[in-house]
Chain A
Amino acid sequence: MTVSFAENVNFRLTLASAQKGKSYKIKEIKGGMRLHRRLLDMGLTAGTSVYVAARAVGGGAVLVSLRGVFIALRDTAASVVVLY
């Protein structure tokens, strides 16, 4: 399957690539078993609004707020949370 790199590739917006200072709605969690459950338990369910409060220096962890608290996610975890 040859797809030219220049074509419009549909890529997922995840918390890893979210912008600081913006609010997003969670679409789904696309990820591994334990991580998936842990994220759900912490409140990152589909349809929840999260606000990206801060990013760690040089990428890496991201701090989001939802349901009244702040939660820090490592980049591996953040890249699994798919947003609208």
Chain B
Amino acid sequence: MIDILLAGSPNVGKTSLFNKMTKSFAHTGNWQGVTVDKLSKSVRLGEMKVRITDLPGLYSMTVYSPEEAVSRDQLIMQDGAAVINVCDASNLARNLYLTLQLLELGKNVVITVNMVDELSKKGKVFEGKRIEDALKTPVISVSAKYGRGIDELLKAAVKAAEENVAAGEKKYGGEQGLSTIEKLPYLKKLPVLEVWQIIKNNVAKADLPLAYAAVKVLENDEYILERLKLDIRQKRRIAALGDWQDRVASARYAFIDKIVKESIKDYDTFGMPQKCPKGHKSGDTFGCVPPFKTPPPGVPIKSKDFMGRERLTFRKSKQKGTPLEDSAIKKRNTQQPKLSRIDKVLLNKYLALPIFFLIMLLIFTITFYVPGRWLSNGLGFLIDKFVYAPVTTLLKSTSPWVGGLVGDGIIKGVGGVLVFLPQVTLLFLFLSILEDSGYISRVAFMTDSGFHKIGLSGRAAFTLLMGFGCSAAAVLSARALEDANMRKKTVLITPFMSCSARLPVYLLIVARFFGGNPLVVFALYIFGAAVAILFAAIFERTKRLKSADAPFVMEMPPYRLPSAKRAARLILHNTKSFLVRIGTMVLAFSVIIWILSNFSLANGFITGEGGAGGMLDNSVLSAVARFIAPIFKPLGFGSGEAAAALLSGLAAKEIILSSIEALGGVDVLFTGAYAWLCALSFLVFVLLYVPCFATLAAIGKEIGFGWAVFSFVLQTGVAYVGSLFTYTLGLLFVKHRILVFAALGVAFFIVVVVLLNRRILNRRKRITKAFENAK
């Protein structure tokens, strides 16, 4: 059995290469953390069985996350395996950093460079042969997109693996170490041999390659130091050598910079480009120039002048009539790319956030109004007409309660969720477009500082904003978040972002009691967001949910045109899980609710009206509602009708509206002199309490059943406290205005004093810090 590992930086196309090689359909995406564990598949190459393993992305053999640890461990443990090191041509320097470490590890590597076509578009030529010569490792050009070169790559990898096997036991001995140093000349600048002397025996015991272990020791790599189990004397001797961490990195990068300079060149410095061989297609650049439709400035174009003679012309640069000057060429050659034009706008100080809000607004409108809502309503209508009606009439004629169960319970319940499908799909479409194009990274960059203070990252911004649309879909999108704890926190606070289903309830009540004043609705939304932020901060302080030391460094991917294929795959996958997982839960709950609302303990089956049981009747559900109603008395809406409405809201928030109507309208729920206050308190409760079952199911799916229960309790508790607060404060305000103003005044005073104190403290801290820096 031949083993081949696919290793490389995150996001270079390992997984799509893996898919092409094994003809499978593993998931890819333009964000980190998609490949979370190793993925192995066997293929047949002629007579041999070859096992290919796709490893999670890795920047360097010093790891920072559990996924990277998986890759590192596999690379070290599987000493017989060959490695296909996938590199990205536009990011070559950093990719080669891992390559060097793989070579230090003594692995038999075959390098493949991906995305060379993107380089060509920028007017550069890639010469893989230079890398081959420098590293004495085969470099094979592949186009993962077009699937060419893959067989050749596989064959080379298999050959490398076979060489490995032939080397056999001699793998980790002194000879191997010396040959590594010969292969990688920059190692000569480092005291590798001295370290070697010190750790010789430990290395043999720990079963690690000598050269690799020595370099890692110089880098103060915790993992290797742990595995070596050095004693005090050894540690002291190593410490005496000094701190070589920086110099190791510098040595590697100096070597890399030279290689990159040789292997990526501009057309003009490259000289007259060679003609490409026949059958050559773009993406195959290996020292030749593929034909362009419009070559970049500087590439000669063959053309015929008016007399039919062949001439070479150059496309002019932007300035009319002037050829490219030396400085312009130099600018292109430097390794410090300037921001693309798109980025200049999107990351502009003043424009960035407004643009983001505009984009979110656009997404919202399309998903939740036009055409999203139409599609939803249309689907609802279709289900009603073609599924509900015929089925129920048929079944009800035979047996009323089966008809009711299937019709009102199952079809209405599941249908209620299915109706969301168009909107959810649209949301996922937008999510995948934004993610794939790389925009989400820009947003994360912009909002990171703010979010970091409450323990989240900028990527959470999108999830939370989606929560304004549909909590369930937003929770599902939280999958992309890197840190497990941060994912949990984000998922837990998302329901506080008032989802669009709650809006009809607000509108109804505000219309009746507050004259339709939009400020009230707006205030509710802001309050929800504030509670979300508050809890994020609270969770961050708890031990359980504290975010791990997040990576302080994020790579900014280049803008990419989102690929339709990837989007389609993502949408299919997500909607499938939406339907399956959530559908089953909702089905179960719908049936339960239907049973509860249409059966009473005394009379058996009674025909109730849909989910809420019509005017409070004898059904179990109504009995429950009447039972718990007194709990809500201190909140101002202690009637059975209100309780029933809220209970029905557990299935879906829109149902609250129809329940209220069915039960007699808002005036039945909110009575008394301060009916408006009761209504306000009710609004706060609706804002904060448990979202629909679909969301609970999504939460359970994303972060576990236990957390879903916690979320339920949390939301209910917070809603209760919030309502209580609103009602009692409101009553106080109405009855004893002066007291409230006095209290507010005192609070204001305290806040001002505290803030002032903090400013003074901070100032002192800043001054002492300046002194520290000076030393």
Chain A interface (Cβ < 8 Å from any Cβ of B): 3, 5, 9-12, 23, 28-29, 33-43, 45-51, 53-61, 63, 65-77
Contacts and interface: CB of A to CB of B under 8 A. Distances in A.
The residue in A35, A40, A65, A71 that gathers the most chain B C-beta atoms within 10 A of its C-beta is A40
A8 B6 CA distance: 55
B202 interface: no
Contact of A48 (B253, B349, B352, B554): B253
Contacts of A9: 770-771, 773-774
Contacts of B551: 38
B452 interface: yes
Interface string B218-247: 011100000000000000000000000110
B553 A38 contact: yes
A72 B338 contact: no
B47 to A, nearest CB: 41
Contacts of B93: 43, 67-69
Across the A-B interface, the 9 shortest Cβ-Cβ residue pairs: A60-B449, A77-B552, A40-B249, A70-B556, A51-B336, A67-B93, A41-B60, A74-B552, A54-B347
Given A63-B339, A70-B337, A74-B449, 17 more contacts: A11-B770, A11-B773, A28-B246, A40-B249, A41-B97, A57-B352, A57-B446, A59-B449, A61-B445, A63-B347, A63-B556, A69-B94, A70-B339, A70-B558, A72-B553, A74-B452, A76-B552
Contact of A41 (B249, B343, B352): B249
A36 to B, nearest CB: 7
B250 interface: yes
B91 interface: yes
A72 to B, nearest CB: 5
Contact of B554 (A29, A51, A55, A72): A72
B335 interface: yes
Nearest to A68: B335
Given A71-B554, A71-B555, A45 B253 contact: yes
Contacts of A12: 773
The residue in B245, B339, B343 that gathers the most chain A C-beta atoms within 10 A of its C-beta is B339
Contact of B246 (A11, A29, A68): A29
A70 B555 contact: yes
A55 B446 CA distance: 8
A74 B458 CA distance: 11
A65 B93 CA distance: 13
Given A71-B554, A73-B553, A43 B449 contact: no
Nearest to B458: A61
B90 interface: yes
Contacts of B246: 28-29, 40, 45-46
A65 B110 CA distance: 29
B338 A65 contact: yes
Contacts of B26: none
A59 to B, nearest CB: 6
B69 interface: no
User: DSSP majority for the B interface?
Assistant: helix
A53 B338 contact: yes
A43 B336 contact: no
A68 B250 contact: no
Given A37-B245, A51-B338, A57-B353, A74 B448 contact: yes
Contact of A77 (B64, B260, B445, B553): B553
Interface string B350-364: 001100000000000
A76 B257 CA distance: 28
A75 B347 contact: no
B336 A23 contact: yes
Nearest to B441: A72
B327 to A, nearest CB: 15
B245 A36 contact: yes
B445 A72 contact: yes
B755 interface: no
Contacts of A68: 90-93, 260, 335, 337
Contact of B249 (A10, A45, A73, A74): A45
Given A57-B353, A68-B91, A42 B446 contact: no
B253 A54 contact: no
B440 to A, nearest CB: 12
B767 interface: yes
Nearest to A51: B336
A57 to B, nearest CB: 6
B137 interface: no
Given A43-B93, A63-B347, A66-B335, A56 B553 contact: no
Contacts of B336: 23, 49-51, 65-66
A42 B91 CA distance: 11
A34 B550 CA distance: 11
B415 to A, nearest CB: 44
Nearest to A38: B553
B62 interface: yes
Contacts of A61: 445-446, 448-449
Given A36-B245, A43-B97, A56 B445 contact: yes
B712 interface: no
Nearest to A78: B552
Contacts of A41: 59-60, 62, 97, 249
Contacts of B556: 63, 69-72
A41 B64 CA distance: 11
Nearest to A12: B773
11 contacts: A3-B771, A9-B771, A9-B773, A35-B552, A43-B97, A54-B347, A55-B349, A67-B253, A70-B556, A74-B553, A76-B552
A56 to B, nearest CB: 5
A69 B555 contact: yes
B549 interface: yes
A46 B250 contact: yes
A67 B250 contact: no
Contacts of B353: 57
Given A47-B250, A51-B338, A76-B552, A34 B449 contact: no
A78 to B, nearest CB: 8
B770 to A, nearest CB: 6
Nearest to A64: B336
B412 to A, nearest CB: 47
A69 B339 CA distance: 10
A84 B566 CA distance: 44
Contacts of B774: 9-11
Contacts of A46: 246, 250
Contacts of B558: 70
A70 B347 CA distance: 13
Contacts of A57: 349, 352-353, 446
A59 B447 CA distance: 10
Contacts of B337: 51, 65, 68-70
A26 B245 CA distance: 16
Contacts of B773: 9, 11-12
B197 to A, nearest CB: 25
A29 B247 CA distance: 12
Nearest to A21: B338
Contact of B767 (A5, A37, A53, A59): A5
Contacts of B60: 41
A43 B553 contact: no
Interface string B541-575: 00000000111111110100000000000000000
Contacts of A70: 337, 339, 555-556, 558
Contacts of B555: 42, 69-72
B249 A38 contact: no
Nearest to B64: A38
Given A11-B774, A63-B556, A73-B552, A45 B448 contact: no
